[in-house]
Structure formats: C-alpha cells, structure tokens
Amino acid sequence: QGAGARSQLHEGVSGRGPHGPQAAARLAPLLRRARPRPGIPARRAGYRPPPETPRRGQVLGAPADPDRDAGHGLRVVPARVRAQAAALLRHERPRDDRGRLRHRARGARPALRVRPRVPSAAHARASPGRGRPSPVHPRLPRGDDGPASGRDRGPEARRNAVKVVHVVTAFPRHDDDVITPWLGRLLLGLRDRGLEVEVLAPAYRGGGATEWRGIPVRRFRYAPAALETLTHEETAPDRIRRRPAYAGLLPGYMIGGSLASIALGTSSPPDVVHVHWPVPHAWFGALARASSERTAVVSSFYSVEIRWIERRLRWALPFLRWSIESADGVTAISTATAAAVARYTPREVPVIPFSAAISDGPRPDGVTAEARPQERAGPVRLLFVGRLVERKGVHILIRALARVRERVDATVTVIGDGPLAAPLEAEARRVGVDPFVHFAGRVDEEALREAYRTSDLFILPAVVDGKGDTEGLGVVLLEAIEFGLPLIASDVGGIPDIVRHGETGLLVPPGDAGALAEAISGAIGDPAAARERVERGRAHMREHFGLPSVVDRLLACYGRAVSRRDGLESQGVGP
C-alpha cells in the first residue's frame, strides 16, 4: 500500500511512533487473530527482518515483548489480515474480530440522501401542485447533492448513501433483455435520487449478468445450469402449473436464496431489503435482516400470490400472514391488491404502482391522437400486447372480433408469445376470423413502437383464470395511452386504477365478448370522445403513475419502514 501506509501499519502493530496509540487501538481485534497459538514452534511462524527494514508484503511485526506477547515470540500477520488492516488505515468500513464487515453503529444510520427532482414542464402541467418530493422520515433528511446520478457522486457520498437491495424472481440477464422493464426504470430512478441500489435474483441456466447498467446484481444458484429455468421466461406459478415437475426445483431455490440472503446480511448489510413476491421471498428478507440486525424489510404484493394461496394452497396461509406482519413496510401494486392484503392485517397498505413507473419525458416521436380511431383509410386496427396465457383473455377478443366485423372492417394484431399460441390460432379458425388476426409473436422494441404508432385501439380483455389469477395492474395500458391509443379493458383486478370508465377509457365485464364488441364499435363510431378520453388518460397517467411520483412514494415508504424498525430496536424487540 506504499511506504506511508506500511509505516502506519507497523506503528499500529508495535504501538510506537506518532500514530501508534490510535492505530494500535483500531488494529487490536485483527492482531488478536494473528497472535501465534501456544504449542506452535517459533520456526513455524517464520523469521522477519528488524522493523527498520521490513520485507515488502510478507511479514510485519515487532520484536518480542514478554509483557505483551506472553512469551509467544514474534507476531506474524497473514496476508488476509494485512489486507484488512490496510483497509482500516484507509478509513474503510470496520470489520469485527471474525473478519466480517460490521454494520454501522446503532444510531449512525446514514441520512437518506434524496435528490430534489425538477419536474418537466409536461409533468408540471399534468400534475399541478406537485414538483417537490413528498416528506420522508425526519431521521432521514433529504440531501442537496444536485442533479447528478448516483454513479457520478464522489466516494464519500456513495459511502454514506442508503443501500437498498431488491429481491426479485427475474431480472434482465443482459442490457438488451426485455423482461421487467418497469423494474429497471424504477431502480434507475432510485439511483438517480441518491440511493445505492442492488438486486438479488436467481440465476438463469447457470448465469446472467452480474451488473446491469451500473447496478450490481447478485445471482444465486439453485440447480444444475441446464435446469435453472424456473423463472425469467415464464412466471414460476404458470410454469409449475403446466409442468408440476418444476416444483422439484423449489427446495433448491429456497436453499440457494437463503444462503445468498445470509451472505448479504453479513458481508454488506443493506439499510432496506425490498422484497417483491413475498411468497416465498419474505423468508429471504427475514434472513438478511436477522443477519445484519439493522435492516428494514419492505414487502410488495402483486395480488396473484394472494389469490393463488387462497384458492389452491390454503395450507400456506400462515406463511402469507407472517410475511405481511413481519415486514417493516407493506405495499400493494393496485387498490384491489391493497384490499386483498388488508384482509390479513390492520396496518395501512399504501398503493405504490412502481411496476407501472413510466418515464417523465416527452411523448414518443410521431405520436398523435388526432388520427384515431377510424379517421384513416383502411380497416380499424385493434392491438393486444402481452403473454398468451389464460388470464389475458385473448380468446374473448377473437370472439368479439367476429361480431365487430359484422358492422365494420377490423383486424387484430396480437403481439407476444406463450403456451396458448396454438390454441388461440385454432380459436380464430373456429370462429372464421383467422385471416384478420395476425399473431406477431415476440417482437423487438422498434417493432413494438411501430405497432403502437399504427394501431387505432388498444384492447386488454383480461379475465380471472383457473387458478384465480388476473391482471395485477395492466402496465401495457400505460404504454398504449402514452402512444395516444384509446383504451378498452376488462373491469377486473387492478385495471380500474388506470382505466376509469368513460373518463380515461372504457371498461367491460370480464369474459363478455358481446359487451367487448359493443365497446369497440362505440369507440369506432365516436372518435371525438375517444380523443378526449386519451387526453384525460394521459394527465391521469402522469399524475399517478409517472416515475417521479412513484419514487417519491417509495422513498416515503422506506422512511416509515426504517422508523418502525428503529422503534422495535429501541424497545428491545428482535428481528
């Protein structure tokens, strides 16, 4: 580490010199580990030159001192201990006498350095009265670091930043991976507001990126590489339902995630662990908290896990209740999900639709709502985007198209893939509309944007599937209205949080092909009303689902969770 650092290290070992007393006090726990044990011959410890001419990087110490060394002779500092001692002398985070990183002392939690955001003109117009972050816990004051992102801050600011680890089932495996784009936007938004953000996620086929756009990603293994496909390509409940043999991967998943959580809590303890899909990830959060003793846990529910347990896994209800009550903070993705969580706790359950967090930038290039719908030549173009699974209700849209075509010329483009692709194509042939339904499969970002730009109406005919699952929110509705598309969707799950009937879109009863056909025909016949709903929908979207608004609410939730955790500690309540 250079002559100066070696000199301080030598003074700490010997207790002499201008820095000796202070350095010795800081190095004492490490040197206790380095002391030779009784019964080990002196020659086993090796020989070192006098202190005036230490050999670089091998042995550092001081002449034997009977009062200090109890007759054990020279003290030899192993390489690993030397590295830790050098880190201490550079004022890095301390370790305990077992070599583990010590968490900050009680009462020394760093301030939550929240960057003041400056809303765009569009956001200010859409959200009057907003434009300043919501208050956070008084013990976590807002910083004034300026507009730079977390990556541009200096070492001291990064060291004092509040650390938040998100525990998820799936995370992009590379920079161009299209899965969970909402989570990526959220994490980048948190980082830009001054937080230190990390991700804990399962591996996929033995790998996956360990960093995504500057955000560290911890991947835990749970099976041989060829079998690590429980997540990412499809939700775990859907995969297990189709092929029950996948349930055999769950024990390995829980063991791998548990070990990774313990390592997280002992090696680099976060201030907050944000658990997505608390069943089963609440267990991982509890282990990280128990290992660090200072971590607060925030659990976010998406509704499907609650309905699945209530309908098919009632033996897991005690775990569901525990995951809610043991968390220091609980959030829900929609109003309907909050009501479901509230059945198990008297606590407040704030609605934070972070999975819908959208950018606060300008409208996509070339997007206008004036030419929609049915104001251009050719057939009316209906669009659906999503996985081809039962809860999306694409079969209802196909049946409704047959009725719509009795009145107007219309086509449907279906973007996405899934296990029901072949049955849906067969359904289109059965009702006689297969020439007018285009199954595009999975497309890249540019093709998706082009589909939004060239369509007339966006349809989300969601239903409740056989296992009780439905749309937790319907994020694609926000993407569609961002491109100026009028919305028609089912009145189910969290969809009404986005589509307010007659105000921001049209709602129909789930599973009713006749009502869906009537709504489509009505929107085609009254384009002026459709345009008005689009503009009101965009204002509603900016106010309630914009990224700055979502980040503000999430920071306030973190502050409440930390406050609750500190209150439990002050009362002597364990993790």
pLDDT band of residue 498 (cuts 50, 70, 90) is very high
Residue 44 pLDDT? 42
| Percent of the chain clearing pLDDT 70 (strictly above) | 67
Q: Report the 10 Å Cβ neighbour count for 99.
A: 12
Q: What is the pLDDT of residues 130-173, one digit of tens each?
A: 333 444 444 343 433 433 344 445 555 555 678 999 999 999 98
Residue 311 pLDDT? 84
Least confident of 313-322, 361-370, 488-497: 361-370
**Does the pLDDT of residue 246 top 70, yes or no?**
yes
Cβ pair 150, 187 in contact under 8 A? no
pLDDT band of residue 521 (cuts 50, 70, 90) is very high
286/290 Cα distance (integer angstroms): 6
pLDDT band of residue 11 (cuts 50, 70, 90) is low
Rounded mean pLDDT, 310-338: 92
pLDDT band of residue 526 (cuts 50, 70, 90) is very high
* pTM, full prediction: 0.69
Residue 29 pLDDT? 60
Q: How far is CA 418 from CA 229, 238, 319, 415, in A?
A: 15, 10, 30, 10
Total residues found in the chain within this entry? 575
DSSP 90: T
**Does the pLDDT of residue 49 top 80, yes or no?**
no
Residue 304 pLDDT? 83
- pLDDT higher at 105 or 417: 417
Residue 215 pLDDT? 94
333/304 Cα distance (integer angstroms): 11
Burial of residue 422, with CB atoms counted within 10 A of its CB: 0-12 exposed, 13-18 middle, 19 or more buried:
exposed
Within 375-474, residue ranges assigned H as helices are 394-404, 421-431, 445-454
- pLDDT higher at 454 or 311: 454
pLDDT band of residue 280 (cuts 50, 70, 90) is very high
Q: How far is CA 129 from CA 133, 144, 147, 384, in A?
A: 11, 21, 21, 35
Q: What is the pLDDT of residues 80-108, one digit of tens each?
A: 556 655 555 544 444 455 454 444 444 44
Domains in the chain, please, with CATH?
3-89 (no CATH), 163-359+551-570 (3.40.50.2000), 380-545 (3.40.50.2000)
Comparing C-alpha atoms, which of 252, 133, 131 is closest to residue 194?
133
511/455 Cα distance (integer angstroms): 23
Least confident of 39-48, 119-128, 424-433: 119-128
pLDDT band of residue 26 (cuts 50, 70, 90) is low
Cβ-Cβ contacts under 8 Å for 425 (sequence gap 6 or more): 434, 437, 439
**Does the pLDDT of residue 490 top 90, yes or no?**
yes
Q: Which residues pair with 546 in a beta bridge?
A: 358
| Percent of the chain clearing pLDDT 90 (strictly above) | 48
pLDDT band of residue 41 (cuts 50, 70, 90) is very low
512/564 Cα distance (integer angstroms): 46
pLDDT band of residue 125 (cuts 50, 70, 90) is very low
Integer-rounded Cα Rg, in Å, for the chain is 29
Q: What is the pLDDT of residues 55-68, one digit of tens each?
A: 443 333 444 444 44
Q: How far is CA 116 from CA 12, 134, 150, 543, 552, in A?
A: 43, 10, 13, 18, 10
> What is the sign of the dihedral through the CA atoms of 490, 496, 324 and 232?
positive
Q: Three-state DSSP class for 310?
A: helix
142/552 Cα distance (integer angstroms): 12
